[in-house]
A and B are shown apart, each in its own frame.
Chain A
């Protein structure tokens, strides 16, 4: 049995909730920074709280994703996405089942070569790692060099907020796309 495989589905659900929280917190934080360009720091207090929430959500979700990774790597990546025979067999099963039920045949686009999904997921894991760093640096700046007190940090602060937000969105979208093909395993 793989590391934490029996808990993979539960971990995936927690990962999904954590992802939604990270996307929400990073997006809100970025939006609440928008006045800073005009020198308006009225939302500073709430925005700093959001920097905390975003960093905790990002870090926690990153940890849950890391725990899930061995199961994904074997059951999803190696045994499905990178295995043309597994994909072809499943396509045939789906096709036969559709014929038995007199239902439309699944479109071929859903059952072709799927190794591109695994490569896209590789992009996601790197984006998430860099996004986590951006989120933690943002948290540090919000405590020790907030642009309200130190205007020289404004460009870096806004850049990191945009980077963390884009990373969270990118990782969430690619994660959902991957799970639409296969998440933690099949019927077992």
Chain B
């Protein structure tokens, strides 16, 4: 694959990773999904529903985000192998990547703002 062909594909994969991470990171909080928690007092990991205020759910959110980024970037990689992304697709994906990051940032700021 030439450098010229590789760049749009890399862009599409990067955008998909950004969107996938952002949405999957917010998903367990927004949809109240079971997640991974670390109980710092008992020093153990808990998988399931929200166990209360002390166990830390942030690590589970990160795991959701990484999984979302992996799935989305794999799908984008596969799709861009089948058909090279057009400039319009690349521009739209770029806009969505920045929007998703900003939206999720705003969502958590809004929810937690003092």
State in angstroms the CA–CA spacing of A82 and B114 once bound together.
13
> Which residue in B15, B62, B101, B114 is a CB contact (below 8 Å) of A163?
B101
When A125-B58, A163-B102 are in contact, do A74 and B41 touch as well, CB less than 8 Å?
yes
Could you tell me which residues of chain B, from 64 to 114, have a CB within 8 Å of some CB in chain A?
65, 69, 87, 90-91, 94-95, 97-98, 101-102, 104-105, 108-109, 112-114
18 A-B pairs besides A133-B101, A140-B10 with CB distance below 8 A are A66-B59, A78-B53, A117-B114, A120-B114, A123-B112, A126-B104, A129-B25, A129-B61, A133-B17, A144-B14, A145-B7, A145-B8, A145-B10, A152-B11, A152-B94, A156-B97, A159-B94, A163-B98
Q: A149 contacts the other chain (Cβ, under 8 Å)?
A: yes
Interface residues on chain A, number (Cβ under 8 Å): 38
State in angstroms the CA–CA spacing of A149 and B56 once bound together.
43
Interface of chain B: mostly helix, strand, loop or mixed: helix
Residues of A within 8 A of B (CB): 2-3, 66, 69-71, 73-74, 78, 82, 116-117, 119-120, 122-123, 125-127, 129-130, 133-134, 137, 140-141, 144-145, 149-150, 152-153, 155-156, 159-160, 163, 167
Q: Is the CB of B87 within 8 A of A152?
A: yes
State in angstroms the CA–CA spacing of A156 and B93 once bound together.
9
Report A-chain residues with C-beta under 8 Å of the C-beta of B95. 155
When A66-B59, A130-B105, A144-B6 are in contact, do A74 and B54 touch as well, CB less than 8 Å?
yes
